[in-house]
Amino acid sequence: MTSTAPAVPERRRRPRTRGLGRYLYLAPAVLFVAATTIYPLYYNVSLSLYDATMQNFVAGRLSYIGAANYATVLADGSLWVGLRTSLIYTLGTIVLMLIIGMALALLLQRPYPGRNLIRAMLFLPYVLPSVVGANVWRWLLDGSYGLFNELLLRIGIIRAPVFWLGNPDTALLAVIIATAWTMAPFAMLLLVAGLQGIPASLHEAAALDGAGAIRRFFAVTLPLLRPVTLVVALLGFIYTFRTFDTIFIMTRGGPGDATTVLPIMAYQQAFVSFDLGSGAAINTLMLIIPTVLALLYFRATRSEDVR
């Protein structure tokens, strides 16, 4: 008696078009990133290597000069003044953004009636166009009819109007406050998510040990929020370091060079002095510090994961 083995059904081969479909779904996003990020970056770097004055650019007579634009820009002392101003502006904004964001996150940590409405209202400055926010702050800080001056005069803190945006001693602080006001809701949102991920048992155990609210914050909350805080600080640095519109609308880089950060300097070099090559060189140099910080962050987090 002979037995026959059951026939094994042939596996159907998936058509190759199905595998290509996954890449076709990604194609629009890849093309969008390439058109809005990769190509402008490539064009900016390539333009920085040419003698691209406005006259040469319009006439189409660009001559390759290599790193001459970078040598000229780095030899100019105003670049280092602009870098110092950019770092003060960026670090000041990050510190103030984290303080405000943390305070708002602690306020919204526990549920209570109307919390979602308050959260939506507090998030409004972040979703507003930066042009709108900058004009609001310019009106609030106006030396002649600004609401801030009127309030301080009524309280008696000042006796005469202060021109906050026209004074070199206060202009940079003013744009720091305006930018931090814009970025604080973003920090609040991420910090709230981080706070909700901390087990309540840790706070209860600390409270049983006699730790008060302030001690629990510094001993329990703040250390556990360190990864989230670092991400917020890094993203805030990248955003603030390249901020142009807020400062341009509020002070246009003045008075003098009090608020002339690197993006303002690149704009002035390219579209006021009509030296597109030097402006592109400044833009390229601006990428170095955020890129180095991002690489250091990823390296630090990777080493922690390995441990």
Angle between helices 171-196 and 77-107 (to 10 degrees): 40
Residue with tokens 């708002």: 104
> Distance between CA 182 and CA 139 in Å, rounded?
16
Question: Is 23 a residue whose pLDDT tops 60?
Answer: yes
The verdict on pTM exceeding 0.85 is yes
Question: What's the pLDDT tens digit per position in 84-116?
Answer: 999 999 999 999 999 999 999 999 888 888 888
> What percent of the chain stands above pLDDT 90?
60
pLDDT of amino acid 183 = 95
Q: For 123-151, what is the mean pLDDT? A: 92
Core vs surface per residue 69-102: b (16+ CB within 10 A) or e: bbeebeeeeebeebbebbeebbbbbbebbbebbb
Task: Kindly tell me the number of DSSP H helices and DSSP E strands found in the chain.
Answer: 18, 0
56: left (phi over 0), alpha (psi -120 to 50) or beta: alpha
**Predicted pLDDT of residue 112:** 82
Q: What are the pLDDT digits (tens) for 165-211?
A: 999 999 999 999 999 999 999 999 999 999 988 888 888 898 888 88
Would you state the pLDDT for residue 204? 84
Q: What is the pLDDT of residues 196-253, one digit of tens each?
A: 888 888 888 988 888 888 999 899 999 999 999 999 999 999 999 999 999 999 999 9
Report the pLDDT value the prediction gives residue 1, as an integer from 0 to 100: 47
Set out the domains of the chain in order of their start, with CATH numbers: 30-302 (1.10.3720.10)
Do residues 125 and 185 lie in contact, with contact meaning Cβ atoms separated by under 8 Å? yes
Confidence label for 57 from pLDDT (cuts 50, 70 and 90): confident
Query: How far is it, in rounded angstroms, from Cα 129 to Cα 184?
Result: 15
Lookup result for tokens 């409405």: 117
Query: Under a CB-based contact definition with an 8 Å cutoff, are residues 192 and 109 in contact?
Result: yes
pLDDT reported for residue 2: 53
How many angstroms separate the first and last alpha carbons of the chain? 65
In the three-class reduction of DSSP (H, G, I as helix; E, B as strand; rest coil), residue 64 is classed as strand
